[in-house]
Structure 1
């Protein structure tokens, strides 16, 4: 398996965490559950002109997209099949970053995948075709960087309160109250929620819950054994029951099931993708 990542240059780096590439990705499992992260992803399938997305609750429910698509911020998990992930190239946006490049309200993408050609027209198909014929990872990254720089709105119409809110919610792992952030940026709670959702795609409360879940999941993964009651308090949950409900809502699994599944793949030495949870089959 080949895995490469690339951090784009400024000013694109203000909006994009990195580009990533997988080639010849295989595994003993057939499915991967993709967990909510509060971010956008732009994905190109370099082997076939299709991306298949399955419901986390019913694997028979499949939505099909072209080989270039945008995944908006989700409030729950969805599933992909590894058969189509042999060669994927993607853009991992920073929270709120896709708004400056897509030029559309992020809220329009909440819990959705959208064909990139719906947004960019034939240029999206041409871009994917050019990426497919390239063989060097760096050349692919540089082409993608050039295209995204050309799409970057100057100056991006970003509200200053959104950046402050994102910084606080990410730094505190979602523990800060929305009304306190709104007060700090001199906006009413209603107005703050409005501008935040338009640029991020999730309300600040939901974004904070997703970030807290991600923090709890990462904290549990770093420990061989987890005291769930203690972790719940440390991560800002009311109690262990609250932690369990949030894990089930965002991953479809209890904390114990989540931890055991990750440990199974960690022990095997398998590479686990960012925000992915391989199935146990």
Structure 2
């Protein structure tokens, strides 16, 4: 399996964290974990089926936009595959598509349904591209055409979202609100519009994501890892990890969990 990332050009880094490419030559089952970011995906070779809790497969679209999610999802494919993805901050949804991020929380619409004619055109251009360099060029052009300035009033909240994703912490919402010069209620409403979730839930997801980044690193005890990632104790850590991934953290960090091959 081949996985690599591409840093976006400087003018798009305020919205796009990175582009990624995942390719495989064999059947594969993938697990998408809870995530506070947004992903636009293009299946340029093969199409995955989504598996429900009963392991029954349902067809998925060749392109889609995965909104912020507090749920894990499972996908499988019986052949080789190729996926081009765009990993974005959640406030990319209101900036690029003029809708609240919360509209797409736990949703993954296909691009033509979400964006109409422009979504169909983008899907066609990416799918018909000869290689990933062309796909990258098509997407850079698309994002530049749709890029808008984030309103000044929302910039402190966007900064808070970025900070939480980089290094989760347990500061009270009232402290975040004061930095944004908003009441707590105003802050929570604007935060949900930009991030897709309430500050409390987004914080929990960010702590979980921070923990998953320790995969392939020297294994810490669960207690030490929980403390390092900002959890009150090990039991809270295990509870959140199971909720957001479906795995016990020990199973995940030992490399025995489903869909972790690309991390190796």
Short-chain TM bin: 0.7 to 0.9
Quote the residue 2:56 is aligned against. 60
Change (3 A) 1:139 1:61: closer
- CA distance in structure 1 between the aligned counterparts of 2:246 and 2:125, rounded to whole angstroms: 38
Change (3 A) 1:172 1:264: closer
Does 1:193 find its partner at 2:188?
A: yes
Quote the residue 1:33 is aligned against. 31
The answer (yes or no) to whether the contact 1:174–1:211 under 8 Å persists in 2 is no
Instruction: List per-residue Cα deviations over 1:185-225 (Å, max 9, x = no partner).
Output: 2212111111011011121111111111122232364124x
**Local SS of the residue matching 1:261:** coil
- CA distance in structure 2 between the aligned counterparts of 1:180 and 1:85, rounded to whole angstroms: 49
Name which of 234, 239, 254 aligns with 1:260: 254
Name which of 44, 47, 67 aligns with 2:45: 47
**Local SS of the residue matching 2:45:** coil
Quote the residue 2:199 is aligned against. 204
Quote the residue 2:233 is aligned against. 239
Give the TM-score normalised by structure 1.
0.83
- CA distance in structure 2 between the aligned counterparts of 1:16 and 1:108, rounded to whole angstroms: 19
Does 1:177 find its partner at 2:172?
A: yes
Shift of 1:237: 1.6
- CA distance in structure 2 between the aligned counterparts of 1:40 and 1:208, rounded to whole angstroms: 16
Quote the residue 1:80 is aligned against. 75
- CA distance in structure 1 between the aligned counterparts of 2:208 and 2:228, rounded to whole angstroms: 12
Quote the residue 2:16 is aligned against. 16
RMSD: 2.6
Shift of 1:263: 8.2
Does 1:89 find its partner at 2:80?
A: no
Name which of 206, 221, 226 aligns with 1:227: 221
Aligned length: 263
Name which of 102, 105, 112 aligns with 1:107: 102
Deviates further, 160-169 or 248-257: 160-169
Does 1:69 find its partner at 2:64?
A: yes
Shift of 1:27: 4.5
Change (3 A) 1:223 1:3: closer
The answer (yes or no) to whether the contact 1:43–1:88 under 8 Å persists in 2 is yes
- CA distance in structure 2 between the aligned counterparts of 1:89 and 1:171, rounded to whole angstroms: 23
**Structure 2, unaligned stretches of length 5 or more?**
none
Instruction: List per-residue Cα deviations over 1:159-209 (Å, max 9, x = no partner).
Output: 123123214423441422222211222212111111011011121111111
Shift of 1:2: 5.3
Shift of 1:126: 2.8
- CA distance in structure 2 between the aligned counterparts of 1:272 and 1:26, rounded to whole angstroms: 16
Shift of 1:37: 2.0
Shift of 1:262: 5.0
Quote the residue 1:278 is aligned against. none
- CA distance in structure 2 between the aligned counterparts of 1:113 and 1:238, rounded to whole angstroms: 32
Change (3 A) 1:59 1:230: same
- CA distance in structure 1 between the aligned counterparts of 2:175 and 2:79, rounded to whole angstroms: 44
The answer (yes or no) to whether the contact 1:169–1:175 under 8 Å persists in 2 is no
